[in-house]
């Protein structure tokens, strides 16, 4: 039995042990500084307030932005789970409002070096995260690095963060162009939704999305849709300085209410709930590809 088939069998058995799998949402961007991690955290807060159990998986091993947003240093990371024998529950840092986050740390970059036993253990035990959460938000690194692409290629629900800045739109298009040209990218089953952030007005946020959608529709085979618009809000800057999410510090601010509205859209999207596969399946696909190399 080859390693790829073995991974499929592990995930099949793992899924049989749980009644449900988490809905995995991957949040990414074409460049840094557009509010990707900030959006991940604030959406998690509002999903939790809507009664959903949420875990954020910080897959940006270069910058620990989720830790900074919460002002918390996790005791353990994914690396401790893979190499030091820590359990899934031990590597989850529980934040206020019962939101957990898992720090990928250097464990993300070391996935390519895992042996068969380590891969088996990782995939089979990640099914426990599906038991613990209704939603798992994967916060990738920004840009088009190999690590970012690997996560996006196996994701089925993607939120792409943009801002009105021309460089943000250019870099977002570049990311989509790379995905479009990759034979491993699943055009049929992957939903790409755009969150237009830091908009001075609804009109500006809509115009940013329209410009991106225009060139994507003209030159690429991808379909994208607008998830929502987050206004440029001074309260966000103040919250970042205090290392707290704006939805906790000022839940009635314009940005916080916009995140609340988007969280409601996500929860009420019945079509997306039908095809969810869970975090164990995502990592299975990720490591299956590495096993073929």
CATH class of the domain at 20-291: alpha beta
Q: Which residues pair with 16 in a beta bridge?
A: none
Mean of the per-residue pLDDT values for the chain? 84
Question: What residues have CB less than 8 Å from 51, skipping those under 6 apart?
Answer: none
pLDDT greater than 50 at residue 10:
no
**The pLDDT of residue 290:** 54
pLDDT greater than 50 at residue 146:
yes
Residue bearing the bigger pLDDT, 82 or 257: 257
Return the domain boundaries, the chain: 20-291
Joined together, the tokens standing for residue 214 give 């225009």
Residue 251's pLDDT band (cuts 50, 70, 90): very high
Task: Give 39-59 pLDDT, tens digit per residue.
Answer: 999 999 999 999 999 999 888
d(CA 212, CA 122): 38
**The pLDDT of residue 15:** 46
**The pLDDT of residue 13:** 46
**The pLDDT of residue 265:** 96
pLDDT greater than 60 at residue 291:
no
Residue bearing the bigger pLDDT, 271 or 90: 90
Q: Length of the chain in residues, anyone?
A: 293
d(CA 286, CA 104): 14
d(CA 227, CA 209): 10
**The pLDDT of residue 63:** 59
Task: Give 227-249 pLDDT, tens digit per residue.
Answer: 999 999 999 999 989 988 999 99
**The pLDDT of residue 289:** 60
Residue bearing the bigger pLDDT, 161 or 118: 161
Give the count of alpha carbons within 13 A of 243, CB side only: 10
Residue bearing the bigger pLDDT, 64 or 34: 34
Q: Which residues pair with 100 in a beta bridge?
A: 55, 94
Task: Give 55-71 pLDDT, tens digit per residue.
Answer: 998 887 555 677 777 77
User: In 3D, which of 210, 240, 244 has the Cα closest to residue 225?
Assistant: 210
Label the pairing between strands 92-94 and 100-103.
Answer: antiparallel
């Amino acid at each position: 039995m080859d390693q790829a088939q073995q991974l499929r069998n592990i995930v099949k058995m793992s899924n049989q042990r749980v009644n449900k799998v988490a809905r995995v949402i991957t949040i990414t961007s074409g460049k840094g500084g557009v509010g990707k991690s900030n959006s991940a955290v604030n959406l998690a807060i509002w999903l939790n307030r809507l009664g959903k159990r949420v875990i954020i998986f910080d897959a940006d091993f270069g910058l620990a932005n989720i830790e900074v947003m919460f002002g918390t240093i996790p005791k353990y990371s994914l690396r401790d789970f893979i190499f030091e024998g820590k359990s899934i529950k031990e590597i989850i840092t529980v934040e206020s409002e019962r939101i957990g986050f898992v720090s990928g740390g250097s464990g993300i970059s070391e996935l390519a070096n895992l042996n068969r036993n380590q891969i088996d253990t990782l995939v089979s035990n990640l099914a426990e995260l599906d038991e613990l959460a209704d939603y798992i938000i994967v916060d990738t690194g920004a840009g088009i690095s190999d690590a970012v692409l690997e996560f996006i290629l196996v994701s089925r629900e993607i939120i792409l963060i943009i801002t009105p800045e021309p460089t943000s739109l250019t870099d977002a298009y570049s990311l989509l162009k790379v995905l479009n040209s990759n034979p491993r990218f699943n055009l049929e089953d992957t939903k790409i939704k755009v969150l237009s952030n830091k908009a001075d007005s609804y009109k500006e946020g809509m115009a940013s999305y329209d410009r991106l959608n225009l060139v994507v529709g003209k030159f690429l085979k991808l379909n994208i849709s607008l998830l929502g618009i987050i206004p440029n809000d001074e309260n966000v800057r103040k919250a970042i300085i205090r290392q707290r999410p704006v939805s906790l510090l000022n839940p009635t601010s314009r940005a916080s209410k916009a995140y609340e509205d988007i969280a409601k859209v996500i929860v009420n999207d019945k079509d997306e709930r039908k095809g969810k596969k869970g975090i164990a399946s995502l990592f299975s696909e990720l490591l299956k590809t590495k096993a073929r190399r």
